[in-house]
Structure 1
Amino acid sequence: MFSFLFSPMFFQLLDDDVSFPDPTLAEEDGLLAVGGDLSLERLLVAYSNGIFPWFSEGEPILWYSPHQRCVIYPEQIKISKSMKKVLKEEVFQVTIDQAFKEVIQNCAQMPRKGQDGTWITDDMQKAYINLHEKGFAHSIEVWQQDKLVGGLYGILINKVFCGESMFSRVSNASKTALIYLTNLNIELIDCQLPNDHLLSLGAEMIDRETYLKMLQKV
């Protein structure tokens, strides 16, 4: 018996069960389900099945599973000549998991293009900080003269890094974080949705089936 309710447009999750419907049942825009909570258990089930939350303050929790996924294969990252110079001159210092809370707070202050306000609500921040404290979410921090100037955060499922957001206070800081990420022991970076910046760095689109196979590969 299904542990969620169905409407003609989406699945309504029940509060007392963390399961999700089949991701292939998502709407054309990727919307799969509404409701539930941001508990550690539900978030891990979601990401393990290629599903992520994306909603704004005041909205119910919306869960997405896009038909096409924007990803970066680490070995195919594109690094421009100018960026290679930045890396060679060691303009920045990079750390891992040293300032997760600060990274997510900075990301929340920078809304996505075309959006008012932030989708990284206070509840979202608390949920991902909890994931980090339990060892599931990770951050990469970029520093310049001991000041945090860029970074990114996401969840690691097997060898897929499910990137959530990144920020940059100075030119090339977020690029540095992403390039650093490609040198770690991961096989795929999930960028969720495409934009010109990611595509210029070598991101490409793959179908959901291919993505899920990578996600479930041990």
Structure 2
Amino acid sequence: MWKSTGCRVIRGGLPTGTVEGVGNSFGGELKVSVKLADGKIEEITILEHKDTPGVSDPAISGIPAAIIEAQSTDVKVVSGASMPSKGIMEAVQNALDNANGVVKEEVALLEDPDVLVVGGGMAGMVSAITAAENGAKVIIFEKTGKLGGTFGGSTLSGTNTKMQEENGITDDSPERFFQDFIRLNEGYKEIYPEAEYTWNEDLGRYYAEH
């Protein structure tokens, strides 16, 4: 299956030669090489990526071919490999920008933050949101270039949500959500039996109920 996404369309003439570009995928930075000739994209090679083999393969084989055929980075992502798909599109667009001498706009940094959150997964995002809601200036450091962590792959974290209601799921509750946390944490104990592991029940219940 394929799904549409929004990337810029290639416009204007392109210089002849080979350029490199980088983008962000699920596993981190992804690098491509783009060969240009006669104002068109002739070849795209994935130079480096850190995504899971097998999962990312359909995107790695399909997205470059789709971009070349469309002569555009506005192509459809591969279902089940959306992050690698978008990472390749972003990297190719970055290469085209490099070829055309487009300078990326600098993003203004927040100065003198009150709170620094290391890791943009579920815990980090909740911590950052809570701090911001209480008036703090917050910066999140996330190495992968995407937020969500293990919850960034279309995982639903909540109870009695609109999505559940739309799909006829009416038997959920904060207590069931909390018990699911307990189940997940028991799994960590099995994986890392040598580690000392303490479950903050009060914090877990607060998250499940809010």
TM-score by length of 2: 0.23
Higher relative contact order (CA 8 A, sep 6+): 1
Kindly indicate which of the two structures has a greater share of residues assigned to helix.
Answer: 2
- Is the radius of gyration larger for structure 1 or structure 2? 2
Kindly indicate which of the two structures has a greater share of residues assigned to strand.
Answer: 1
